[in-house]
Chains A and B, each alone.
Chain A
Amino acid sequence: MSTESGRFVSISTLPSLQVRQAKVIGTAFFDFSPYVTEPLYTSGITWFIFADSIFDRFYSTYRFKENTLSISLAEAEAGYDRNYRIRFRIGKMNASQFKWFLANMVYLSEIPNDKWMLLWHGWGDGKVLVRTVPGINFTLNRGDVIILEVKPLAPAVNFVRFYFITDLIGVPRVT
């Protein structure tokens, strides 16, 4: 802002949004075979749930204010160490949807589309890589959870690995 005397006056504004590359790399290996064998595999299913406290990690690690995060890019991979076919979906639930999920998960063959915000899905043999479409953002509010649903389409042995890399857009804390 220019004044008549030619000096510039700086105007304090709210902190601008910042993008940080957040890397959440998860690995989990476990043997599914004691529980799921042919022909029972169709009712075997695994959910990985990133709960509220993961976002606390985001806030503290990347020094964002504790309100909401907007995610602009994410990738995840799931698979077997063998070339078995799986279906892989990622979605977001709010607190009330997650409460419903916990009460009803034993009856679900998969999460109904009206009970979460389906973000990405895919299927493949051996492993599945899914990533967001560029330009598609979604916002995480406090209490939201992200769920990775991995459903085997063949007998499952020696499960699974995944990673979750994301661009976070948040408001930085003022120090």
Chain B
Amino acid sequence: MPVKIIIRVPKGKKVDKSKLKVSGSLVVGDTVIPVTEKDVEVVEAG
């Protein structure tokens, strides 16, 4: 996985990852790598 996105949300905040909408891409030279929800990890503040 060339890119990983971590979103840290406030403590006690219910995390429903299905509500997360992510789109984008990573371009290295001529290579285009899509950035999708699977690249995102949502963690709750400790």
Contact = CB atoms under 8 A, between A and B. Distances in A.
Contacts of B40: 30
* Dominant secondary structure at the A interface: mixed
B37 to A, nearest CB: 9
B13 A25 contact: no
Interface residues of A, number: 36
A44 interface: yes
B26 A46 contact: no
A51 B3 CA distance: 6
Interface string A27-58: 11111101110001101111111110110011
Given A29-B22, A58-B28, A47 B6 contact: yes
B28 to A, nearest CB: 4
Contacts of A24: 26-28
A30 B22 contact: yes
Given A43-B8, A43-B45, A54-B2, A26 B30 contact: no
Contact of B35 (A23, A27, A32, A57): A27
Interface string A51-68: 101100110011000000
Interface string B11-46: 101011001111111111111010100001011111
A26 B26 contact: yes
A9 interface: no
A111 to B, nearest CB: 11
Interface of B: 1-11, 13, 15-16, 19-31, 33, 35, 40, 42-46
Given A30-B21, A49-B3, 19 more contacts: A22-B29, A25-B26, A26-B25, A29-B21, A29-B22, A30-B20, A34-B16, A35-B13, A36-B13, A43-B9, A43-B10, A44-B8, A45-B8, A46-B7, A47-B8, A51-B3, A62-B29, A106-B43, A107-B45
